[in-house]
Amino acid sequence: MASKAAYWTNATIYTPAGIVEQGTLVVDDAGTIAAIGGPELAADPAIARHDAGGRLLLPGFIDVHIHGGGGCNVMSGTYAELDGVSRFHAAHGTTAFLATTTTAPLAEIEQALRASADAMNQGVTGAGLIGIHLEGPYLSERRRGAQSKADLRIPTEAEIKRLIDAAAGQIRIATVAPEIDGGMAAVRQFAAGGITVSAGHSDATFEQMRDAVGAGISHTTHHFNGMSPLHHREPGVAGAGLLLSELTTELICDGIHVHPAAVKLLFETKGAMNVCLITDAVTCAGLPDGDYGGVTMHEGQIYLKDGSSLAGSALTTIQALRNAIRFTGYSLERLLPSITEVPARQAGVSDRKGSLETGKDADFVLVDRELDLYETIVGGRSVYARQSHEA
C-alpha cells in the first residue's frame, strides 16, 4: 500500500537535535520525513492531519535479533510466517527488524535465507524486514546454548559464499565463534563483504577476542549469554565486550537473561551508543504459557524442555525499553538510541532509519508518558493502532 502525505501534529517529538514540544512531523507521498517543526507546518488543508494528542512521537524501534513471535517462525522459510512475525512485532513498537536464523541443516538455513530475501522484495505488512541476521551454524559447541549441536559446522569460504548468495546479499549481521576452526577466516570473509560480524555462542578468550576485533568483529550477540563469562583470570568474551571500545553489545533486557544489576553495569561501562537492545524473540512470544515443540514457556521464561538452557525470549521492544529505564534509572532520551540509532548503525541502515530527521523513512511510534503504545507507523503507513486510539 502506498503512503500518503500527512501531518502529525500536537506531538512531543524526539529528534537528534532535541525534543520538539507541540511539534509537527510532515510525511510526504514517498513515506519519508519532509519536515519537523512547530504547529505552523500544518498549513495545507489538502493534506491529512493526525492529532497526536500531546503524546510522545519516537523514532521506530529496530530489532536486529528476532527469530519469531505470535506463533510464527523465521526458519519456516515461508512468506506467510515472516509476514506474521512482522505484524506481531509491529504491535509492540518495532518498525524494522532483521530476520534471524538458527543453527539447522544447511538446506533449511538456505531456504530461510531465500524466503527472507524474497519477503524483503515483496514487502511485509507489519514492521519492515530490512535484512537478515545469520546466527549459526559457525558456533562453539560448548557455548551453543539452545542451538542444535548436530548441525554446528566448520566454516569454509565456499560455504559462506553459498549462504550469502542464498540470502541475495541481504545478510546484515553474522554471528560467529571466532575461536573455532576456520572462525577467524570466516570473520574476515563476512567483514570483507560489508557484513557486521558478531561474536556469539563463543568460548573465545580475551586475547582471541582482541585478535577477532582486528579481523573485523564489531558486535557481540546477546551479551553475557552464550559466551565465555567474565573471570578475573580470564575476562573471556563477556569481559572483551565490556572493555573493547570497538565492540557494540547486544542486550536481552528482560531481567531473565541478564540480571538488572548487570544491565546497569553494561550501560554504565559501554554507554547507550554501544548497547544494542534486542528481543531474541522466538515463535511462542506473545502466546500463552505451554509447551511449543522443543521448548517450554512459563511466565515469560522459555527453556529447552530438559531445562538445560534458555531458548530465546518472549520480550518485545517496547518492554525492553521500559525495562532498561527501570533497571538503569536513565531517562528515555538517554536510552532511546540503544533501540533506534544503534541497531540502525549495526544493520547498516542509519542513512534512512534510526532517527527522526528530514529525508529519512517515516518510521515512528506514538506512545504515552508511561510508554504505552498507541500506534506504529512504517514508511508513513499505520501498521498497528490500539483500538481505543482508533476510536
Q: Which residues are catalytic?
A: 280
Q: For residue 202, which of 138, 149, 255, 150 has the smallest C-alpha distance?
A: 138
Residue 10 labelled as part of a binding site: no
H-state helical runs in the chain = 79-90, 106-122, 157-166, 183-192, 206-215, 236-243, 260-270, 317-328, 332-335, 341-346, 387-390
Is 46 known as a binding-site position?
Answer: no
Tell whether 223 is in a known binding site: no
Check whether 225 is labelled as a binding-site residue: yes
117-129: string of b/e by CB count within 10 Å (b at 16+)?
bebbeeebebbbb
191 is in an annotated binding site: no
Q: Is 233 annotated as a binding residue?
A: yes
Q: DSSP of 202-220, one letter per residue?
A: B---HHHHHHHHHHTEEEE
**Residue 312 marked in a binding site:** yes
Are 131 and 163 in contact, with CB atoms under 8 Å apart?
Answer: no
142 is in an annotated binding site: no
3-state secondary structure 122-147: HCCCCCEEEEEEEECCCCCCCCCCCC
Retrieve residue 233's grid coordinates: 583470570
Cell of 275: 548497547
Task: Decide: 383 and 129 in contact? Cβ < 8 Å.
Answer: no
Backbone dihedral region for residue 364 (phi beyond 0: left; psi -120 to 50: alpha; all else: beta): beta
Whether the CB-CB separation of 175 and 134 falls below 8 Å is answered with yes
Using an 8 Å Cβ cutoff, are 300 and 256 in contact?
yes
| Sequence letter at residue 41 | L
Determine if residue 272 is labeled as part of a ligand binding site: no
Q: What is the DSSP string of 5-43?
A: -EEEEEEEEEETTEEEEEEEEEE-TTSBEEEEESGGG--
Provide the annotated binding site for Zn(2+). Answer: 135, 201, 222
Provide the annotated binding site for substrate. Answer: 146, 225-226, 233, 257, 310-312
Provide the annotated binding site. Answer: 135, 146, 201, 222, 225-226, 233, 257, 310-312
